Amino acid sequence: MATWGALKRSYTWTAAHTPWSAWAWRNTAFSTAAIPPALPLVTGFLLLTAAPGRSGLPLLLVVLLCPLLTRLQRSRFRVLLGLDVPPVVHAHPWRTVRGLAERLRSEATRRQYAYHLVVSPLAALGAALVVLAWAGGLAGASAYAWVWVIPSDDAFPEAGWTRQYDLLTVGGALTLLAAPWMAAVLTRLDALAAASLLGPNRARELQRRVEDLAESRAGVLDAADIERRRIERDLHDGAQQRLVSLAMNLGIARATLTGLPPEAKAVIDEAHREAKEAIEELSNLVRGLHPAVLEDRGLDAALSGIAARAPLPVELTVDLAERPGPTVEAVAYFVVSEALANVAKHARARRCSVTVTRVPGGPRGDLLRVVVTDDGVGGADPAGGTGLTGLRKRVGSVDGTILINSPQGGPTVVTVELPCGL
pLDDT tens digits along 204-221: 667 667 766 666 666 666
Show the DSSP H helices in 290-370 as ranges. 292-297, 299-309, 326-342
Q: What is the mean pLDDT of residues 147-163?
A: 58
3-class SS of residue 122: helix
Show the DSSP H helices in 198-261 as ranges. 202-234, 240-256
3-class SS of residue 353: strand
Q: Residue 38 has what pLDDT?
A: 83
Long-range contacts formed by 214-220: CB under 8 A, 24+ apart: 214/399, 217/397, 218/327, 218/422
User: What does the mean pLDDT of the chain come to?
Assistant: 77
Q: Residue 295 has what pLDDT?
A: 75
Q: Residue 384 has what pLDDT?
A: 60
284 vs 172, which has greater pLDDT?
172
Q: What is the mean pLDDT of residues 153-170?
A: 63
Q: Residue 186 has what pLDDT?
A: 92
Task: Using a cut of 0.75, tell me whether the model's pTM lies above it.
Answer: no
Q: Residue 279 has what pLDDT?
A: 75
Q: What is the CA radius of gyration of the chain?
A: 39
pLDDT at 93 over 70: no
Q: Residue 189 has what pLDDT?
A: 92
Q: Residue 366 has what pLDDT?
A: 82
Quick one: pLDDT band at residue 274, thresholds 50, 70, 90?
confident
Q: What is the mean pLDDT of residues 330-351?
A: 85
406 vs 46, which has greater pLDDT?
406
pLDDT tens digits along 342-400: 888 888 888 899 999 988 866 567 888 999 998 888 877 766 655 677 788 878 878 88
pLDDT at 1 over 70: no
Instruction: Give domain limits for the chain.
Output: 16-200, 204-289, 296-419
Least confident of 44-53, 163-172, 296-305: 44-53
Q: Residue 149 has what pLDDT?
A: 66
Given this structure, which CATH class describes domain 296-419? alpha beta
Q: Residue 129 has what pLDDT?
A: 92
Sign of the torsion formed by the C-alpha atoms of 309, 311, 317 and 323: negative
pLDDT at 419 over 70: yes
Which of 315, 422, 330, 406 minimizes the C-alpha distance to 367?
422
Least confident of 19-33, 162-176, 307-321: 162-176
